[in-house]
Amino acid sequence: MNEVRTLANGIRQQQKRAVARGLTWIERGAPSGQELVRDLFSDAGRAHVIGITGAPGVGKSTLVNRLALALRTRERKVGILAVDPSSPFSGGAILGDRIRMQDSVMDEGVFMRSLATRGHLGGLSRATFGAVTLMDAAGYDVILIETVGAGQSEVEIMQLAHSTVVVLAPGLGDDIQAIKAGILEIGQVFVVNKADHDGADHSVRAIRGMLTLGMEHLAWFPPIVKTVADRGDGVDELVKAVESHWGYLRDSGQLDQMRRGQTAHLIELALQDWVKFALNDAQKAPDWEAMRDQVRSGIRDAGDAANAIIQRRITCH
Amino acid sequence: MIRVLVAKPGLDGHDRGAKVIARALRDAGMEVVYTGLHQTPEQIVDAALQEDVDVLALSILSGAHPTLVPRIMELIRDNDLTDVLVLLGGIIPNDDVKAMLAAGVAEVFGPGTDTNDIVKCIRERVKTHE
Ligand SMILES: Nc1nc2c(ncn2[C@@H]2O[C@H](COP(=O)(O)OP(=O)(O)OP(=O)(O)O)[C@@H](O)[C@H]2O)c(=O)[nH]1
Ligand SMILES: [Mg+2]
């Protein structure tokens, strides 16, 4: 049996070592990782994928830790993927989400992996998509994804999660920031964390006020849950809210529609990869400088050069 | 991409040194998982396993390395993680260095080590897969 099949079998048996190594392969972005995802794909499709997003420091990791513990008491196996930004200067990263997850990650039914964005924009890393398929195939019932601390462009999570939880904290104008940033549009559940601080009720009212503008007619109206994540307050209510959203998605047929949209996004990502590889090849080719000079001096236009690069990639692969 | 777990086992009161190392490794282009203070050997090795790191960098100031390090190395063997490069930093008396190396630590770095030396050591010893 080849290496990919052996690893895939270990993953299906939920062997932690195999899961960890498989995630590394996927992160490497090499053909072996793609082959692995392809092999596992038929075993995926059962997990409930939940995104946890919100500004830096609102308590996402602390909440993920509590969610994982609460889901374990309900006998769910939990996979966690936590994304932190890579440095644009060195390419390195400090991945610190695990600090807040120490209580849950030692549980046999929890697997947690930190991912760096590695230049991918949108709040996730490129590998997060394949990583979800892997964890799903490994039999994790719920997959929690913590995005990088979100601003206005970190909304790719909606292309991956079934339920997106937007976390806010009172004070600091966070609620207003979120409304301006457009992050309210992506949430199916809202959390006002740090409810032990002043202003939590105000935040709840502000969010509800924004949501009711034009959303009353929707079949799913996003619940707003107050939590104190470091104490665990409100976490049961949050679990109920995301589970009821999962039930809604399945009963209403929305899940299928969502999957179609997300599949289109996967194709888009794969196409972007392809273009990146093509450009890489082109820049290494002996005629790259000549091609660039031709475009610069107007002998050739950029679109024509792009065409030539694509043609070459097609014939070489 | 080289992945490193920077871990602080035991009861040390602060983690300034560990954070300096973590930042230096990040600035050298590595991905550094940092797990905070007061980690048990079990937690550290479990994190190394799940994060599939190439390097485990331990920082111990408390003097508890004679018990903590052999226990960590034992767990590393039990979990079949012997490929992981284990480095030890902090306050390790010269007399103990030999025992630490014998336990399976690849290199010991004393206080005041130039972080560039640690980076260099990792780059030389980790066979990257890319
Ligand atoms: N007072 C209070 N503090 C909290 C609460 N939840 C989390 N914190 C604290 O807020 C800080 C940030 O928590 P994290 O869970 O790391 O926040 P995060 O959103 O994951 O942060 P990033 O990953 O850096 O974006 C920590 O010091 C937590 O202990 C809460 O409900 N109340
Ligand atoms: Mg976090």
B52: closest chain A residue by CA: A20
- Residue A193 CB less than 6 A away from ligand 1: yes
B20: closest chain A residue by CA: A94
- pLDDT for the residue numbered A65: 98
- Across the interface, whether the CB atoms of A113 and B28 are under 8 A apart is answered no
- Residue A103 CB less than 6 A away from ligand 1: no
ipTM value: 0.96
Among A44, A82, A87, residue whose Cα is nearest residue A60: A82
Among A70, A109, A110, A63, residue whose Cα is nearest residue A228: A63
- pLDDT for the residue numbered B127: 76
- What are the Cα distances from residue A316, in Å, to A278, A304, A313? 10, 18, 5
Return the domain boundaries, chain B.
3-125
> What residues in chain B have their Cβ under 8 A from chain A's Cβ atoms?
1, 3, 22-23, 25-36, 39, 42-43, 46-47, 49-52, 79-80, 129-130
Report yes or no: A129 and A265 within 8 Å, Cβ to Cβ.
Answer: no
Q: Looking at CA atoms only, how far is residue B117 from chain A in angstroms? A: 17
Chain B residues touching residue A111 (CB < 8 angstroms): 50
Point out the ligand nearest to the CA of residue A149.
1
The secondary structure element, H or E, covering residue B56 is strand B55-60
SS3 B86: strand
Q: Which domains does chain A have, with CATH numbers?
A: 45-252 (3.40.50.300), 264-316 (no CATH)
Percent of chain A with pLDDT over 70: 94
Tens of pLDDT, residue by residue over A207-222, are 888 887 767 678 899 9
pLDDT band at A13 (very low <50, low <70, confident <90, very high): very high
Choose which residue among A84, A230, A231, A235 to substitute to test ligand 1 binding: the one with the highest number of ligand atoms within 8 A of its C-beta: A230
Across A138-155, average pLDDT? 89
- pLDDT for the residue numbered B44: 98
- pLDDT for the residue numbered A30: 85
- Cα separation, A88 vs A191, in Å, equals 31
- Cα separation, A105 vs B43, in Å, equals 8
Best of B20, B30, B31, B44 to disrupt the A interface by mutation (most A CBs within 10 Å)? B31
Among A58, A133, A118, A117, residue whose Cα is nearest residue A82: A117
pLDDT band at A177 (very low <50, low <70, confident <90, very high): low
The torsion angles phi and psi of A257, rounded to 5 degrees, stand at -65, -40
Chain A residues touching residue B79 (CB < 8 angstroms): 17
User: Is B86's pLDDT higher than 90?
Assistant: yes
User: Is A179's pLDDT higher than 80?
Assistant: no
How many CA atoms are closer than 13 Å to the CA of A16, on its beta-carbon side?
Answer: 24
B29: closest chain A residue by CA: A92
Report yes or no: B50 and A113 within 8 Å, Cβ to Cβ.
Answer: yes
Across B82-107, average pLDDT? 96
Tens of pLDDT, residue by residue over A57-115, are 999 999 999 999 999 999 999 999 999 999 999 999 999 999 999 999 999 999 999 99
- pLDDT for the residue numbered B96: 95
Q: Residue written as tokens 């190594």?
A: A21
- pLDDT for the residue numbered B26: 98
Would an 8 Å CB–CB cutoff place A314 in contact with chain B?
no
Q: For domain B3-125, give the CATH number.
A: 3.40.50.280
- Across the interface, whether the CB atoms of B50 and A113 are under 8 A apart is answered yes
pLDDT band at A285 (very low <50, low <70, confident <90, very high): very high
- pLDDT for the residue numbered A1: 59
- pLDDT for the residue numbered A62: 98
